[in-house]
Amino acid sequence: MQEDQNKTASNADTEPPEAPLPPEQLISLKNRIFIIVASLLALFLAALDALVMGAAMPSIVAHLGGLHLYSWAFSSYLLSRAVALPLFGKLCDLYSSKKLFNVSICIFLAGSVSAGISQNMTQLILSRVIQGIGAGGSFALTYIVLSDISSPENRGKMMSIASFVWGVASVLGPTLGGFIVNYFSWRWIFFINIPVGAVSLLGIFFYLIETREKREAVSIDYLGMLTLSSSILALLIAFLLAGRSYPYLSFQIVGLFAVAAAAGLAFYHVEKRAKEPILSMDFFKLKRFRFGNGAAFFASFAIFSLFSFSPLFIQGALGKTPAQLGLAMMPLSLGWSFGALACGQLVNLIGKRTASILGGVLLVFGSAMTLWFSSATSLVVCSIILTVAGLGMGFVSIATLLVVQNSVDISNLGVSTASHQFTRTLGGTIGIGISGSLVTVTFLNALEKVLSLDLQQGMDLELLSRIQQNVGNIFLPEIQTLLSTDVQRALQEAVGHGVMPVFWISLLASIVCLVFAILLPRSDSSE
């Protein structure tokens, strides 16, 4: 009898611990639906607020003044959002996801109220900083929470739904902004966030259940937060200003790059010694983490360059109206959304590496086809090519996110998810900055040749002066109607010539993305 008892005890000691229940069994279907809807509402608002401003800014400037601060109403939001992403990602691995999600939504709503009651441009920009911090938290926590409540094999579908919501926001944003400004007031683009955000807040508060154990002993890496934030801000501001406000080799831009490098180096040394680092340097030793984020960076570099400068080609080189431009660009956002949805459905069948490679191939093909854009290209052809590029980005964004999430332990799910989102933000920002500089230099050189031709002899001197003072004036309908057919044709060719380097650099970035996708390990077990 004693031997049997010892044998039983021995077996109990050697038996593996019981596997934890999958999240789908820990949370009822009703609760899951409420959590998903509440999370997606928060994501929708954060995404919408980055896009709705475009249609409202002319009215805002007319009421508040401060035209010289125009671009900072956009940049301040994007910068603070980029800084908040990795910080909330790390905090979510340490503290309650519910509390952090509620905090991020409250910050966003506070920023929305402040923006809505702004009396000058400075207050609006500060309000947008607050909004951006809340939006960064909502971005990170939406993907983290949806991953937390899903077993690994179902995460692809959840992530694709979130990306689809992003796509819907990108399509609705400009239209909704124009509608609100026309029929209500520009202040309501911010006030409308309050009731929708309140629904999201209540859903998270009442229904979100923690499915992942958080660490009992918490050590906050404040020095890591400071050095990382400083490096991000300096780097992104440098790319936002370089080639526009200041030359790349100016003291201001070189100084910003130097600050970014110094802060980045300090961050590296701080993280090597931190008890609970914001981003462990050991993660970069993992091939899936390294190559997955690398593919996402270059995919975002390519797609955001296309997203930002294809409109310039369509309206400036093809001479299309803003309405036609909107219709031509919509397939890029829709292609991204449907690519993400398709990847979510297929990723378990074809594998994450294969899905990443497929997305890279589509992105390379779409980017390569833009090299054949000319003044004879139709809007239909433009839309088809941009759709292919969008589909590729949809596959890459979801597949690489899943790769990065699975590359680390579940306890670091927040850091891995936020690192992927931050990498995409960084890639897009740098892509737009470099592409903008290329367009400015190339287009100004081409424009100078156009204005030095005999064509200018038939141009009114005042009109010529307006174009030389601000080349953007040539896209105004009232300016276009005053130009002769020959001058219009020459200017359109100059625009096409100016945008062509963007298509080349997008293709190069797409190829690098594909290379990183190919370098991904063939199985999740290999590093």
Examine residue 477 and state whether it is found in any structural domain, yes or no. Answer: yes
Q: Which of 234, 252, 275 is the last residue of a domain?
A: 275
- Quick count: other Cβ atoms within 10 Å of Cβ 20? 12
Q: Which of 215, 233, 248 is the last residue of a domain?
A: 215
Alpha-carbon distance of 126 to 128, in angstroms, equals: 5
List all residues 6 or more positions away from 465 whose beta carbon is below 8 Å from its beta carbon: none
In the block, residue with structure tokens 């833009």? 370
What's the confidence (pLDDT) of residue 8?
46
Please give the model's pTM, rounded to 2 decimal places. Answer: 0.82
Q: Quote the number of domains for the chain.
A: 3
Same domain, 357 and 462: yes
146 φ/ψ angles, rounded to the nearest 5 degrees? -65, -30
Exposure of 384 in the CB half-sphere (CA atoms within 13 A): 8
What's the confidence (pLDDT) of residue 525?
46
List all residues 6 or more positions away from 217 whose beta carbon is below 8 Å from its beta carbon: none
Among the listed residues 355, 321, 322, the one whose alpha carbon sits nearest the alpha carbon of residue 341:
355
Examine residue 3 and state whether it is found in any structural domain, yes or no. Answer: no
Same domain, 158 and 257: no
Same domain, 191 and 225: no
Range(s) of the domain holding residue 237:
221-275
Same domain, 306 and 421: yes
Examine residue 7 and state whether it is found in any structural domain, yes or no. Answer: no
Among the listed residues 251, 226, 225, the one whose alpha carbon sits nearest the alpha carbon of residue 238:
251
473 contacts 466 by C-beta, under 8 angstroms? yes
Same domain, 150 and 257: no
Examine residue 11 and state whether it is found in any structural domain, yes or no. Answer: no
Which of the residues in the chain have pLDDT under 50? 1-3, 5, 7-17, 454-455, 525-527
Examine residue 10 and state whether it is found in any structural domain, yes or no. Answer: no
Same domain, 374 and 513: yes
Alpha-carbon distance of 298 to 360, in angstroms, equals: 10
The full DSSP string for 139-207 is HHHHHHHHHHTS-GGGHHHHHHHHHHHHHHHHHHHHHHHHHHHHHS-TTHHHHTHHHHHHHHHHHHHHH
409 φ/ψ angles, rounded to the nearest 5 degrees? -65, 155
Same domain, 247 and 359: no
Tokens (6 digits) for 59: 């009215």
Q: Which of 275, 310, 343 is the last residue of a domain?
A: 275
Alpha-carbon distance of 11 to 7, in angstroms, equals: 6
Examine residue 259 and state whether it is found in any structural domain, yes or no. Answer: yes
Examine residue 489 and state whether it is found in any structural domain, yes or no. Answer: yes
CATH number at residue 366: 1.20.1250.20
Same domain, 168 and 31: yes
Alpha-carbon distance of 525 to 527, in angstroms, equals: 7
* Average of per-residue pLDDT values in the chain: 82
Same domain, 378 and 515: yes
What's the confidence (pLDDT) of residue 38?
92
Alpha-carbon distance of 98 to 205, in angstroms, equals: 7
What's the confidence (pLDDT) of residue 429?
82
Same domain, 149 and 252: no
Tokens (6 digits) for 495: 């625009």
Examine residue 304 and state whether it is found in any structural domain, yes or no. Answer: yes
The full DSSP string for 250-293 is SHHHHHHHHHHHHHHHHHHHHHHH-SS-SS-GGGGGSHHHHHHH
Same domain, 204 and 243: no
The full DSSP string for 102-150 is HHHHHHHHHHHHHHHT-SSHHHHHHHHHHHHHHHHHHHHHHHHHHHHTS
Same domain, 86 and 149: yes
Alpha helices in 313-378 (DSSP H): 322-350, 352-369
What's the confidence (pLDDT) of residue 466?
61
pLDDT tens profile 449-482: 666 654 455 556 566 666 655 555 566 666 666 6
